[in-house]
Amino acid sequence: MRWDNLRDSDAGPRGEDAGPGRKPRAATLPLFEMGAAARSFDTPGFRGMTFYEVHARTIINRVPPASRMAFGWTINPYRGCSHACAYCFARNTHTYLDMDAGADFNSRIVVKVNAAELARKELAAPRWPGEHVAMGTNVDCYQRAEGRYRLMPGIIAALRDAANPFSILTKGTLILRDLDLLAGAAEVTDVGLNVSVGSTDPELWRSVEPGTPSPQRRLAACAAITRRGLRCGVLMGPVLPFLSDSPSQLEATVREIATAGAAHVSPIVLHLRPGAREWYLRWLGEQHPELLPRYRGLYGTRAYAPRGYQQHITEQVRQLAERYGVGRASPARARRLPQVRGPASAAGSLPVRAVPGQAVQLSLL
């Protein structure tokens, strides 16, 4: 594998970091044409994982014009994700790096160590248009690696200092570490904050999202953000057909979202792109083999569930949100942010472009 030649040659027998006073020797990574090093840490939460520290050429990336997203730019300080969600749509991007979309995606994490420096440089460039920048729409910027590498504070500070609008979507409660920075940024620009919670079923969470904080902890983070006076929405996704889509399951999830004081809730039905499709169906075959024929019947060879199914879920969640008062439980002191510039939805939400004649399906999870 191309990445194996990057391993720190001074690492210990398990590949631990070189440690104080020992200077690691790093090989060159052809993809980035910069120095890079591979590290592993023999500490709880990081065992079995390898972090490829690279110096990226650029950090603000343009969203393909064909995308359904209304924002045009993203920042992704990591590639691969320790959340290990069986359904993650970004899995296939790991194959571009000669890694697999399964276990490698979960455990071989690319860390763009110069992300904050690049963000500040690119935001200051005369040619930068000052448009909305989305984060967390590919892999989670607050996954476990962020606790060690601390890339997000520098990125948020760069966006704040440039008064550049941005949004964050996360399953990580580590976002609470950066509340002061986020509050400061919200004083000078549009900031959209969203946590992702597809279901509040604890057994389903442990099985399908094994590396994430529990749904209850994520909703507690939403409540803490709201108490700080920032609007925080919930991306209710993905809704998993035949696993989290019954009326009682949807109601239980929306009820907890409302209790957390979410500013809004946006449901998303599971979609199965290449890479994610194979890994998710493998998980389904191991955990719920009786559902495989029903999934083949619902999805066929398509990435998206039928429009009628998506619309049915969306309408149920809309009615439940109205019943439980989602958006009305936020404290009166909550800051009402201006609309995100461009074709955006409500303040504090991720802008979404609707496809004519088709149910809205975000490409985030």
Q: Which domains does the chain have, with CATH numbers?
A: 56-324 (3.20.20.70)
Torsion angle, alpha carbons of 15, 19, 25, 31, to 10: 60
Structural contact between residues 239 and 198, judged by C-beta atoms closer than 8 angstroms: yes
Structural contact between residues 134 and 74, judged by C-beta atoms closer than 8 angstroms: yes
Helices assigned H by DSSP within 187-306: 202-208, 215-227, 247-259, 276-287, 292-299
What's residue 98's pLDDT?
84
What's residue 36's pLDDT?
65
pLDDT, one tens digit for every residue, the chain (365 residues): 444 444 443 333 333 333 333 333 333 344 444 456 888 787 778 888 999 999 999 999 999 887 767 789 999 999 999 999 999 988 888 888 888 888 899 899 999 999 999 999 999 999 999 999 999 988 999 999 999 999 999 999 999 999 999 999 999 999 999 999 999 999 999 999 999 999 999 999 999 999 999 999 999 999 999 999 999 999 999 999 999 999 999 999 999 999 999 999 999 999 999 889 999 999 999 999 999 999 999 999 999 999 999 999 999 999 999 999 998 754 433 333 333 333 333 333 444 333 223 333 333 43
Short-list 112, 144, 105, 102, CA closest to 29: 112
What's residue 255's pLDDT?
98
The answer to whether the bond into 64 is cis (omega within 30° of 0) is no
Q: Specify the pairing of strand 50-54 against strand 108-112.
A: parallel
Structural contact between residues 360 and 314, judged by C-beta atoms closer than 8 angstroms: yes
Tokens, residue 42: 């023999």
> Which residues does 58 contact at the CB level (< 8 Å), separation at least 6?
118, 122
